[in-house]
Amino acid sequence: RQYEAVPEQPMGKQLQVDWGETKQKTTDNKEIKLYFIAFVLAHSRQKYMEWQARPFTTRDAIRCHEHAFQFYGGRTEEIVYDQDHLIAVSENAGQLLLTTEFQHYVNERKFNVHLCRKADPESKGMIENVVKYIKGNFADSRVFSDIEDWNSRALQWLQRTGNHQVHQTTKKRPAEVFLLEKQHLQPVSSLLSYESTHNQSITRNVSKDNTIRYKSNRYSVPLGTYQTMSENLVWIEVKDEDQKTLVIRREAKGEVIAEHLVSSEKGKLIQNRHHTRDRSKGVEELKQRLVSCFEDQGQAAAYLDEISQRYPRYRRDQFAIIYKIIQQYPAFIDTVLTKCMAEKLYHANDFR
Protein backbone atom coordinates (compact mmCIF):
# COMPACT_ATOMS: atom_id res chain seq x y z
CA ARG A 1 0.00 0.00 0.00
CA GLN A 2 1.20 3.49 -0.85
CA TYR A 3 0.47 6.21 1.69
CA GLU A 4 -0.24 9.85 0.98
CA ALA A 5 -0.33 12.86 3.27
CA VAL A 6 -3.76 13.73 4.61
CA PRO A 7 -4.74 17.41 4.23
CA GLU A 8 -5.17 19.37 7.46
CA GLN A 9 -8.76 19.34 8.74
CA PRO A 10 -10.54 22.70 8.99
CA MET A 11 -11.37 24.08 12.42
CA GLY A 12 -14.31 22.46 14.17
CA LYS A 13 -14.59 19.71 11.56
CA GLN A 14 -13.28 16.51 13.20
CA LEU A 15 -12.67 14.85 16.55
CA GLN A 16 -10.92 11.47 16.76
CA VAL A 17 -11.59 8.97 19.57
CA ASP A 18 -9.90 5.75 20.68
CA TRP A 19 -9.42 3.56 23.75
CA GLY A 20 -6.31 2.22 25.45
CA GLU A 21 -5.24 0.27 28.52
CA THR A 22 -2.14 0.11 30.69
CA LYS A 23 -0.78 -1.79 33.68
CA GLN A 24 0.30 0.44 36.54
CA LYS A 25 2.16 -0.11 39.78
CA THR A 26 0.07 0.86 42.83
CA THR A 27 1.17 2.58 46.03
CA ASP A 28 1.03 -0.79 47.85
CA ASN A 29 3.40 -2.27 45.24
CA LYS A 30 0.78 -4.31 43.37
CA GLU A 31 -0.24 -4.05 39.73
CA ILE A 32 -3.57 -2.82 38.38
CA LYS A 33 -5.00 -2.67 34.88
CA LEU A 34 -6.37 0.75 33.93
CA TYR A 35 -8.51 1.69 30.92
CA PHE A 36 -8.77 5.09 29.22
CA ILE A 37 -10.58 6.87 26.42
CA ALA A 38 -8.71 9.56 24.46
CA PHE A 39 -9.99 12.42 22.30
CA VAL A 40 -8.10 14.75 19.96
CA LEU A 41 -9.32 17.66 17.85
CA ALA A 42 -7.95 17.08 14.33
CA HIS A 43 -7.08 20.72 13.65
CA SER A 44 -5.60 22.04 16.90
CA ARG A 45 -4.51 18.64 18.36
CA GLN A 46 -6.12 19.62 21.68
CA LYS A 47 -6.38 16.41 23.70
CA TYR A 48 -8.67 15.07 26.43
CA MET A 49 -8.65 11.75 28.30
CA GLU A 50 -10.53 9.96 31.02
CA TRP A 51 -9.56 6.83 33.00
CA GLN A 52 -11.32 4.09 34.89
CA ALA A 53 -10.31 0.90 36.69
CA ARG A 54 -12.62 -1.41 34.69
CA PRO A 55 -13.37 -1.97 31.00
CA PHE A 56 -15.58 0.62 29.32
CA THR A 57 -19.25 0.05 28.65
CA THR A 58 -21.21 1.99 26.01
CA ARG A 59 -22.72 4.09 28.80
CA ASP A 60 -19.21 4.91 30.07
CA ALA A 61 -18.22 5.95 26.55
CA ILE A 62 -21.26 8.24 26.28
CA ARG A 63 -20.55 9.77 29.68
CA CYS A 64 -16.94 10.49 28.64
CA HIS A 65 -18.13 12.07 25.37
CA GLU A 66 -20.26 14.42 27.44
CA HIS A 67 -17.28 15.28 29.63
CA ALA A 68 -15.13 15.86 26.53
CA PHE A 69 -17.75 18.22 25.03
CA GLN A 70 -17.81 20.14 28.33
CA PHE A 71 -13.98 20.22 28.32
CA TYR A 72 -13.83 21.55 24.74
CA GLY A 73 -16.84 23.80 25.12
CA GLY A 74 -18.62 22.25 22.12
CA ARG A 75 -18.53 19.42 19.57
CA THR A 76 -17.22 18.91 16.04
CA GLU A 77 -19.23 18.09 12.90
CA GLU A 78 -17.92 14.53 12.77
CA ILE A 79 -16.23 12.06 15.10
CA VAL A 80 -13.88 9.32 13.90
CA TYR A 81 -13.87 5.88 15.54
CA ASP A 82 -12.42 2.43 15.13
CA GLN A 83 -14.98 -0.33 14.66
CA ASP A 84 -15.18 -0.78 18.42
CA HIS A 85 -17.85 -3.08 19.90
CA LEU A 86 -19.02 -0.27 22.19
CA ILE A 87 -19.86 1.93 19.22
CA ALA A 88 -20.58 -0.19 16.16
CA VAL A 89 -22.05 -3.56 15.25
CA SER A 90 -20.84 -3.47 11.62
CA GLU A 91 -19.79 -1.13 8.82
CA ASN A 92 -21.52 -3.07 6.01
CA ALA A 93 -20.01 -1.24 3.02
CA GLY A 94 -20.81 2.22 4.31
CA GLN A 95 -24.19 1.40 5.83
CA LEU A 96 -23.21 1.94 9.47
CA LEU A 97 -24.94 -0.20 12.07
CA LEU A 98 -24.28 1.28 15.51
CA THR A 99 -25.10 -0.24 18.89
CA THR A 100 -28.61 0.74 19.99
CA GLU A 101 -27.50 2.85 22.96
CA PHE A 102 -24.87 4.72 20.95
CA GLN A 103 -27.25 5.26 18.02
CA HIS A 104 -29.70 6.97 20.41
CA TYR A 105 -26.86 9.17 21.62
CA VAL A 106 -25.78 10.12 18.07
CA ASN A 107 -29.41 10.93 17.20
CA GLU A 108 -29.65 13.27 20.17
CA ARG A 109 -26.27 14.98 19.77
CA LYS A 110 -26.54 15.04 15.95
CA PHE A 111 -22.89 14.57 14.93
CA ASN A 112 -21.67 12.51 11.96
CA VAL A 113 -19.95 9.20 12.68
CA HIS A 114 -16.94 8.18 10.60
CA LEU A 115 -15.95 4.54 11.12
CA CYS A 116 -12.49 3.44 10.04
CA ARG A 117 -12.17 0.24 8.06
CA LYS A 118 -11.16 -2.83 10.01
CA ALA A 119 -7.42 -3.35 10.61
CA ASP A 120 -6.68 0.13 9.26
CA PRO A 121 -5.15 2.11 12.13
CA GLU A 122 -3.43 4.49 9.68
CA SER A 123 -6.75 6.11 8.80
CA LYS A 124 -6.89 7.55 12.31
CA GLY A 125 -3.18 7.91 12.92
CA MET A 126 -3.64 11.13 14.86
CA ILE A 127 -5.51 9.49 17.76
CA GLU A 128 -3.30 6.37 17.55
CA ASN A 129 -0.33 8.65 18.24
CA VAL A 130 -2.19 10.31 21.13
CA VAL A 131 -2.88 6.91 22.73
CA LYS A 132 0.84 6.02 22.45
CA TYR A 133 1.77 9.47 23.80
CA ILE A 134 -0.53 9.05 26.83
CA LYS A 135 0.89 5.60 27.57
CA GLY A 136 4.52 6.58 27.08
CA ASN A 137 4.56 10.07 28.59
CA PHE A 138 1.76 10.23 31.17
CA ALA A 139 1.18 6.65 32.36
CA ASP A 140 4.73 5.36 32.18
CA SER A 141 6.51 5.43 35.56
CA ARG A 142 3.57 6.97 37.43
CA VAL A 143 2.25 5.18 40.54
CA PHE A 144 -1.50 4.65 40.99
CA SER A 145 -3.29 5.36 44.28
CA ASP A 146 -6.97 5.81 43.33
CA ILE A 147 -8.93 6.65 40.20
CA GLU A 148 -10.03 10.18 41.22
CA ASP A 149 -6.43 11.16 41.93
CA TRP A 150 -5.31 9.52 38.65
CA ASN A 151 -7.87 11.45 36.58
CA SER A 152 -6.98 14.67 38.36
CA ARG A 153 -3.28 14.15 37.54
CA ALA A 154 -4.22 13.32 33.93
CA LEU A 155 -5.93 16.71 33.52
CA GLN A 156 -2.95 18.46 35.10
CA TRP A 157 -0.62 16.64 32.68
CA LEU A 158 -2.76 17.73 29.71
CA GLN A 159 -2.54 21.36 30.82
CA ARG A 160 1.16 21.21 31.62
CA THR A 161 2.44 18.90 28.86
CA GLY A 162 -0.07 17.20 26.55
CA ASN A 163 -1.71 20.38 25.25
CA HIS A 164 1.10 22.80 26.08
CA GLN A 165 4.18 21.40 24.34
CA VAL A 166 4.77 22.30 20.67
CA HIS A 167 3.28 19.65 18.34
CA GLN A 168 5.84 18.00 16.03
CA THR A 169 3.69 18.29 12.91
CA THR A 170 1.98 21.65 13.32
CA LYS A 171 4.96 23.28 15.15
CA LYS A 172 2.40 25.05 17.34
CA ARG A 173 1.08 24.60 20.87
CA PRO A 174 -2.30 22.78 20.77
CA ALA A 175 -3.67 24.97 23.59
CA GLU A 176 -2.96 28.16 21.63
CA VAL A 177 -4.46 26.89 18.34
CA PHE A 178 -7.45 25.56 20.30
CA LEU A 179 -8.37 29.10 21.42
CA LEU A 180 -9.16 29.80 17.73
CA GLU A 181 -10.71 26.42 16.96
CA LYS A 182 -13.02 26.64 19.98
CA GLN A 183 -14.96 29.39 18.22
CA HIS A 184 -15.80 26.95 15.37
CA LEU A 185 -17.23 24.16 17.57
CA GLN A 186 -20.95 23.46 17.66
CA PRO A 187 -22.47 24.44 21.03
CA VAL A 188 -23.84 21.63 23.23
CA SER A 189 -26.54 21.86 25.85
CA SER A 190 -25.44 20.99 29.39
CA LEU A 191 -26.04 17.30 30.09
CA LEU A 192 -28.32 15.00 28.17
CA SER A 193 -31.76 14.30 29.56
CA TYR A 194 -31.05 10.68 30.51
CA GLU A 195 -27.61 11.53 31.89
CA SER A 196 -28.67 14.42 34.08
CA THR A 197 -30.76 14.43 37.15
CA HIS A 198 -29.54 17.29 39.34
CA ASN A 199 -26.22 15.52 39.66
CA GLN A 200 -24.58 13.07 37.39
CA SER A 201 -24.64 9.43 38.46
CA ILE A 202 -21.43 7.51 38.04
CA THR A 203 -20.50 3.94 38.85
CA ARG A 204 -18.03 2.47 41.30
CA ASN A 205 -16.71 -1.02 41.91
CA VAL A 206 -17.53 -2.62 45.26
CA SER A 207 -14.43 -4.09 46.94
CA LYS A 208 -14.34 -7.45 48.74
CA ASP A 209 -14.53 -5.62 52.07
CA ASN A 210 -17.87 -4.06 51.02
CA THR A 211 -16.54 -0.54 50.47
CA ILE A 212 -16.32 1.79 47.49
CA ARG A 213 -13.68 4.44 46.77
CA TYR A 214 -14.57 8.09 46.31
CA LYS A 215 -12.18 11.08 46.41
CA SER A 216 -9.32 9.15 48.07
CA ASN A 217 -11.53 7.70 50.83
CA ARG A 218 -13.39 4.43 51.35
CA TYR A 219 -17.11 4.40 52.11
CA SER A 220 -18.97 1.37 53.45
CA VAL A 221 -21.93 -0.35 51.82
CA PRO A 222 -24.11 -2.99 53.57
CA LEU A 223 -22.51 -6.39 54.17
CA GLY A 224 -23.32 -8.75 51.32
CA THR A 225 -23.29 -6.02 48.64
CA TYR A 226 -20.13 -7.62 47.23
CA GLN A 227 -20.94 -10.94 45.50
CA THR A 228 -18.23 -13.23 44.14
CA MET A 229 -20.03 -14.09 40.88
CA SER A 230 -21.48 -10.63 40.27
CA GLU A 231 -20.44 -7.46 38.40
CA ASN A 232 -20.30 -5.56 41.74
CA LEU A 233 -21.12 -2.14 40.35
CA VAL A 234 -23.05 0.51 42.27
CA TRP A 235 -24.24 3.94 41.20
CA ILE A 236 -23.13 6.95 43.22
CA GLU A 237 -24.42 10.48 43.28
CA VAL A 238 -23.26 13.50 45.28
CA LYS A 239 -26.02 15.73 46.64
CA ASP A 240 -24.92 19.17 47.70
CA GLU A 241 -27.29 20.57 50.29
CA ASP A 242 -25.85 21.99 53.54
CA GLN A 243 -23.14 19.33 53.40
CA LYS A 244 -22.16 17.11 50.51
CA THR A 245 -23.82 13.71 50.78
CA LEU A 246 -22.69 10.61 48.91
CA VAL A 247 -25.70 8.52 47.85
CA ILE A 248 -25.10 4.91 46.78
CA ARG A 249 -27.59 2.80 44.80
CA ARG A 250 -27.63 -0.66 43.23
CA GLU A 251 -29.22 0.76 40.06
CA ALA A 252 -29.04 4.25 38.54
CA LYS A 253 -32.55 5.13 39.73
CA GLY A 254 -32.89 2.32 42.28
CA GLU A 255 -33.33 2.21 46.03
CA VAL A 256 -30.66 3.93 48.14
CA ILE A 257 -28.50 1.34 49.92
CA ALA A 258 -26.14 3.75 51.69
CA GLU A 259 -25.64 7.44 52.43
CA HIS A 260 -22.53 9.12 53.85
CA LEU A 261 -21.38 12.66 54.47
CA VAL A 262 -18.47 13.30 52.10
CA SER A 263 -15.19 13.58 53.99
CA SER A 264 -12.72 16.34 53.07
CA GLU A 265 -9.84 14.22 54.40
CA LYS A 266 -7.89 11.55 52.51
CA GLY A 267 -7.21 7.89 53.19
CA LYS A 268 -10.13 7.53 55.63
CA LEU A 269 -12.63 4.71 56.04
CA ILE A 270 -16.09 6.21 56.47
CA GLN A 271 -18.26 3.43 57.87
CA ASN A 272 -21.89 3.23 58.87
CA ARG A 273 -22.16 0.97 61.93
CA HIS A 274 -25.29 -0.61 60.44
CA HIS A 275 -23.06 -1.89 57.61
CA THR A 276 -20.87 -3.89 59.99
CA ARG A 277 -21.49 -7.31 61.42
CA ASP A 278 -23.00 -7.29 64.92
CA ARG A 279 -20.24 -9.32 66.50
CA SER A 280 -21.60 -8.98 70.04
CA LYS A 281 -24.82 -10.79 69.18
CA GLY A 282 -23.24 -14.21 68.54
CA VAL A 283 -20.99 -13.92 71.62
CA GLU A 284 -23.93 -13.00 73.84
CA GLU A 285 -25.89 -16.01 72.60
CA LEU A 286 -22.92 -18.29 73.34
CA LYS A 287 -22.63 -16.81 76.85
CA GLN A 288 -26.33 -17.45 77.59
CA ARG A 289 -25.95 -21.03 76.38
CA LEU A 290 -23.00 -21.54 78.75
CA VAL A 291 -24.82 -19.97 81.71
CA SER A 292 -27.79 -22.34 81.26
CA CYS A 293 -25.48 -25.35 81.72
CA PHE A 294 -24.68 -24.49 85.37
CA GLU A 295 -26.81 -25.04 88.48
CA ASP A 296 -25.90 -21.65 89.93
CA GLN A 297 -26.62 -19.51 86.88
CA GLY A 298 -26.04 -16.23 88.73
CA GLN A 299 -22.53 -17.30 89.67
CA ALA A 300 -21.87 -18.57 86.13
CA ALA A 301 -23.00 -15.24 84.59
CA ALA A 302 -20.75 -13.29 86.99
CA TYR A 303 -17.78 -15.52 86.14
CA LEU A 304 -18.25 -15.13 82.36
CA ASP A 305 -18.79 -11.35 82.72
CA GLU A 306 -15.46 -11.09 84.56
CA ILE A 307 -13.72 -13.03 81.75
CA SER A 308 -15.35 -10.68 79.18
CA GLN A 309 -14.04 -7.61 81.01
CA ARG A 310 -10.52 -9.00 81.33
CA TYR A 311 -10.22 -10.37 77.79
CA PRO A 312 -12.65 -8.38 75.59
CA ARG A 313 -10.82 -9.26 72.36
CA TYR A 314 -10.68 -12.97 73.19
CA ARG A 315 -14.01 -13.58 74.90
CA ARG A 316 -15.32 -15.68 72.03
CA ASP A 317 -12.22 -17.89 72.24
CA GLN A 318 -12.53 -18.04 76.06
CA PHE A 319 -16.20 -19.05 75.88
CA ALA A 320 -15.46 -21.66 73.19
CA ILE A 321 -12.88 -23.37 75.46
CA ILE A 322 -15.34 -23.44 78.36
CA TYR A 323 -18.08 -24.77 76.08
CA LYS A 324 -15.83 -27.63 75.03
CA ILE A 325 -15.05 -28.49 78.70
CA ILE A 326 -18.77 -28.48 79.54
CA GLN A 327 -19.39 -31.00 76.76
CA GLN A 328 -16.47 -33.22 77.82
CA TYR A 329 -16.86 -33.14 81.64
CA PRO A 330 -20.44 -32.07 82.48
CA ALA A 331 -20.33 -33.71 85.95
CA PHE A 332 -17.48 -31.51 87.20
CA ILE A 333 -18.38 -28.06 85.93
CA ASP A 334 -20.25 -26.79 89.02
CA THR A 335 -17.44 -27.81 91.39
CA VAL A 336 -14.88 -26.21 89.07
CA LEU A 337 -16.88 -22.98 88.81
CA THR A 338 -17.03 -22.64 92.61
CA LYS A 339 -13.27 -23.26 92.91
CA CYS A 340 -12.42 -20.75 90.11
CA MET A 341 -14.59 -18.06 91.72
CA ALA A 342 -13.10 -18.68 95.19
CA GLU A 343 -9.52 -18.54 93.92
CA LYS A 344 -10.19 -15.78 91.33
CA LEU A 345 -9.05 -17.91 88.38
CA TYR A 346 -10.63 -15.88 85.59
CA HIS A 347 -9.29 -17.61 82.49
CA ALA A 348 -10.71 -20.41 80.38
CA ASN A 349 -7.46 -22.38 80.64
CA ASP A 350 -7.66 -22.17 84.46
CA PHE A 351 -11.20 -23.52 84.18
CA ARG A 352 -9.97 -26.32 81.95
Q: How much is the pLDDT for 279?
A: 64
User: Does 104 share its domain with 244?
Assistant: no
Helix, strand, coil fractions of the chain, as percent rounded to 5? 40, 25, 40
Residue 8 covered by a domain? no
Residue 193 lies in a domain: no
Contact (CB, 8 A) for 128 and 121: yes
Q: Is residue 82 part of a domain?
A: yes
Say if 293 falls within a structural domain: yes
Instruction: Choose among 215, 313, 212: nearest CA to 271.
Output: 212
Determine phi and psi for 140, rounding to 5 degrees: -65, 130
Cβ neighbors of 44 (< 8 A, separation 6 or more) are 11, 174, 177, 178, 180, 181
What is the predicted pLDDT for the residue at 22? 95
Closest to 73 in 3D by CA, of 147, 155, 170, 182: 182
What is the pLDDT, as a whole number, of residue 51?
Answer: 95
Q: How far apart are CA 122 and CA 191, in angstroms?
A: 33
Q: How many structural domains does the chain have?
A: 3
| Residue 55 shares a structural domain with residue 123 | yes
- Using CA atoms, how far residue 232 sits from 11, 57, 138, 208, in Å, is 43, 14, 29, 9
Structural domain of 55:
14-184
What does the radius of gyration of the chain's CA atoms come to, in whole angstroms? 30
- Residue 227 located in a structural domain: yes
Does one domain contain both 255 and 216? Answer: yes
Q: Is 292 exposed, middle or buried (0-12, 13-18, 19+ CB in 10 A)?
A: exposed
Instruction: Classify 200 as helix, strand or coil.
Output: strand
pLDDT tens across 46-105, in order? 999 999 998 888 888 999 999 999 999 999 999 998 877 787 775 555 456 778 888 889
Extract the residue ranges of the chain whose pLDDT is less than 50: 94, 193-201
Assign residue 80 the CATH number of its domain.
3.30.420.10
**Closest C-alpha to 45, from 235, 198, 181, 154:** 181
67 in a structural domain: yes
Q: Give the global pTM.
A: 0.55
Count Cα atoms within 13 angstroms, Cβ side, for 19. 20
Q: What one-character-per-residue DSSP string does 210-264 give? A: SEEEETTEEEE--TT---TTS--EEEEEEEESSSEEEEEESSTTS-EEEEEEPPS
Is 148 inside any structural domain? Answer: yes
Q: Look at residue 173 in the predicted model and tell me its pLDDT.
A: 93
Separation of alpha carbons 164 and 133, rounded Å: 14
Same domain, 211 and 86: no
- pLDDT value of residue 226: 86
Last residue of a domain, one of 275, 308, 330: 275
Other C-beta atoms lying within 10 Å of the C-beta of residue 41: 28
